[in-house]
Amino acid sequence: MKNIINLFALLFSTLIFAQVSTTRINEFRLGMKKSEVEKVVGKSIQLKLNGGYPTEASNFVYKGIVYEVFFFKAYDDSGNELNDFVINSIRSRDKTLKTLSGISIGSTFDEVLNLYKNNSISIYNSWNEDGTRDKTTRMFSINDDDARTQLILTLKEGKVIEFFISYFEGW
Q: Of all residues in the chain, what percent carry a pLDDT higher than 90?
A: 76
Task: Taking residues 15-40, report their average pLDDT.
Answer: 88
CB-based contact 164:105 (threshold 8 Å): no
- Write down the pLDDT at residue 82: 87
Q: Is the pLDDT score of 137 beyond 80?
A: yes
pLDDT tens-digit series, residues 74-116: 988 898 998 899 999 999 999 999 999 999 999 999 999 999 9
Domain range spanning residue 46?
Answer: 2-167
Q: Is the pLDDT score of 65 beyond 90?
A: yes
Q: Where on the phi/psi map is residue 29: left (φ > 0), alpha (ψ -120 to 50), or beta? A: beta
- Write down the pLDDT at residue 7: 42
Residue 32, Cα to own-chain centre: how many angstroms? 13
**Weakest mean pLDDT among 7-11, 55-59, 140-144, 166-170:** 7-11
What's the total number of domains in the chain? 1
Q: CA quadruple 61, 160, 143, 171: dihedral positive or negative?
A: positive
**Weakest mean pLDDT among 12-21, 41-50, 138-147:** 12-21
